[in-house]
């Protein structure tokens, strides 16, 4: 089972509002680029390649940004992608930014 890397799921993902990432400069920089891209028409998921998106780790695997604070609380269990895909039933059900994609 794999989670779609789609604009729909990027919008639902809570990683960018998660305390684990809140203070990360690397995440803030990626977020700025994403906002610029979406403002310029780029609805195209083609332009939103995985490395540019600081989230949806259940689909893409571990975070590229290394300045995240993994002592904070993961918000995956509040997310509709998580609920829709029954990620609570997976071997690893949270902290996909550290543990890698959902399997």
Q: Which residues bind ligand SF4 (CB under 6 A)?
A: 9, 13-15, 18, 20-21, 55-58, 74-76, 79, 81-82, 87, 94-97
Give dist(CA 61, CA 32) in Å, integer. 21
> Which H/E stretch holds residue 60?
helix 57-60
CB of 103 to ligand SF4, least distance (A): 13
Distances (CA, A) of 94 to 20, 30, 90: 12, 22, 9
Nearer to ligand SF4 among residue 14 and residue 64 (C-beta): 14
CB of 60 to ligand SF4, least distance (A): 9
Radius of gyration of the chain measured on its C-alpha atoms: 13
Question: Of 95, 49, 50, 45, nearest to 69 (Cα)?
Answer: 95
Nearer to ligand SF4 among residue 33 and residue 73 (C-beta): 73
CB of 41 to ligand SF4, least distance (A): 24
Nearer to ligand SF4 among residue 44 and residue 72 (C-beta): 72
């Amino acid at each position: 089972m794999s989670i779609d890397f789609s604009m729909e799921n990027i919008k639902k993902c809570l990683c960018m509002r998660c305390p684990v990432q809140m203070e990360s400069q690397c995440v803030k920089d990626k977020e700025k680029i994403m906002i610029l891209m979406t403002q310029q028409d780029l609805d195209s998921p083609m332009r939103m390649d995985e490395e540019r998106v600081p989230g949806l780790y259940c689909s893409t695997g571990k975070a590229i940004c290394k300045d995240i604070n993994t002592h904070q609380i993961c918000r995956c269990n509040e997310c509709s992608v998580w609920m829709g895909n029954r990620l609570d039933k997976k071997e690893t059900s949270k902290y996909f930014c550290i543990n890698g994609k959902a399997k």
